[in-house]
Amino acid sequence: MVYEIAILLLAFIVFLIIIYPTLWIFIASFKTEETLFSNDHSIYTLDNYFELFESGFGLFIFNSFYICLVSVLITIFSSVIAAYAFSRRRFRFKIFSFGSIMLGQTFPWIILVTPMFILFAKLGFLNNHISMIFCYVAVSLPFSIYLLVGYLESIPRELDEAATMDGCPQFQIIWKIIAPIMLPGIIVTAAYAFLLMWSEYLFALAFLTKTNLKTMPLELYAFFGEHTTQWGQVMAASALTTIPTLVLFLPLQKFISEGLTTGSVKN
Amino acid sequence: MKDNKFVFYLLIPTLFFITFFYVYPTVYNIFNSFTDLNLFKLRKGGNWVGLDNYIDLVTDPEFARVFFNTTFWLTIVGVFVRITLGLLLAFLLNSDTLKKYRLTNIFQLLLLIPWATPSIVAVVVWRMILDPQVGIINQIIIKYGIGKEPIAFLADTSFVWPSIITIITWNTLPLVTLTFLASLKSVPSEIIDAARVDGANKLQQAIYVKLPHMVPSIIIMVLMSTFWTFNNFVFVWLSTGAGPGTFTNVMATEVYLKAFVDGRMGYSSALGIVMATIMTVFGIIYLRLIIKRNLKELF
pLDDT digits (tens, 9 = 90+) for A13-56: 999 999 999 999 998 888 877 667 666 666 778 888 988 888 88
Say how many CA atoms lie within 13 Å of B145 toward its Cβ. Answer: 0
pLDDT at residue number A259: 62
Question: CA–CA separation, A172 vs B69, rounded Å?
Answer: 51
Q: Where are the domains of chain A?
A: 55-262
In this structure, what are the phi and psi dihedrals at residue A261, rounded to the nearest 5 degrees?
-65, -50
Contact assignment for A149 to B295 by CB distance below 8 Å? yes
What does each C-alpha distance from B212 to A251, B204, B220 come to in angstroms? 32, 12, 14
For residue B11, being part of any structural domain is answered with no
pLDDT at residue number A260: 62
Q: In 10 A of CB A40, how many CB atoms?
A: 6
For residue B13, being part of any structural domain is answered with no
Question: CA–CA separation, B191 vs B205, rounded Å?
Answer: 9
Q: In 10 A of CB A221, how many CB atoms?
A: 22
For residue B268, being part of any structural domain is answered with yes
Question: What is the domain-level CATH number for residue B112?
Answer: 1.10.3720.10
Rounded to a whole number of angstroms, the CA Rg of chain A reads 23
pLDDT at residue number A261: 57
Question: CA–CA separation, A115 vs B103, rounded Å?
Answer: 50
**Residue B270 near residue B57, CB atoms below 8 Å:** yes
Say how many CA atoms lie within 13 Å of A89 toward its Cβ. Answer: 26
Question: CA–CA separation, B212 vs B206, rounded Å?
Answer: 9
Residue window 35-74, chain A: list those with CB within 8 Å of chain B: 36-37, 74
Tally of domains within chain B: 1
| Residue of A144, A143, A150, A116 lying closest to A130 (CA atoms) | A116
Question: CA–CA separation, B275 vs A109, rounded Å?
Answer: 10
Instruction: Determine the angle formed by the axes of helices B78-93 and B211-230, rounding to 10 degrees.
Output: 140
Beta bridge partners of B38: B264
pLDDT in tens, A129-161: 999 999 999 999 999 998 899 888 888 888 777
Residue window 113-172, chain A: list those with CB within 8 Å of chain B: 113-116, 118-119, 134-135, 137-139, 141, 145-146, 149-150, 153, 170
Tell me which of A4, A84, A178, A265 to substitute to probe the interface with B (most B C-beta atoms closer than 10 Å).
A265
Q: Which residues of chain B have pLDDT under 50?
A: 1
Q: Which residue of B has its CA nearest to A219?
A: B120
Q: What are the respective helix, strand and coil percentages of chain B, to the nearest 5?
A: 75, 0, 20
Across chain B, what does the average pLDDT equal? 90
ipTM of the complex: 0.89
What number of C-beta contacts closer than 8 Å exist between A and B?
Answer: 283
The CATH code of domain A55-262 reads: 1.10.3720.10
Instruction: Determine the angle formed by the axes of helices B104-116 and B160-185, rounding to 10 degrees.
Output: 140
User: Domain containing B254: what range?
Assistant: 54-185+215-298
What does each C-alpha distance from B173 to A228, B83, B147 come to in angstroms? 28, 8, 29
**Residue A23 near residue B125, CB atoms below 8 Å:** no
Question: CA–CA separation, B274 vs B271, rounded Å?
Answer: 5
Nearest to B252 among A108, A235, A248 (CB): A108
Tell me which of B6, B15, B17 to substitute to probe the interface with A (most A C-beta atoms closer than 10 Å).
B17
pLDDT in tens, chain A (267 residues): 888 899 999 999 999 999 999 999 998 888 877 667 666 666 778 888 988 888 888 899 999 999 999 999 999 999 999 999 998 888 888 889 999 999 998 889 999 998 898 889 888 898 999 999 999 999 999 999 988 998 888 888 887 777 776 766 777 888 888 888 888 889 889 998 999 999 999 999 999 989 889 999 998 988 888 876 788 888 999 999 999 999 888 888 777 766 665 544 443
| Residue of B25, B123, B61 lying closest to B254 (CA atoms) | B61
B244 cis-preceded (ω within 30 degrees of 0)? yes
Contact assignment for A202 to B238 by CB distance below 8 Å? no
Q: In 10 A of CB B234, how many CB atoms?
A: 23
Question: CA–CA separation, A52 vs A235, rounded Å?
Answer: 11
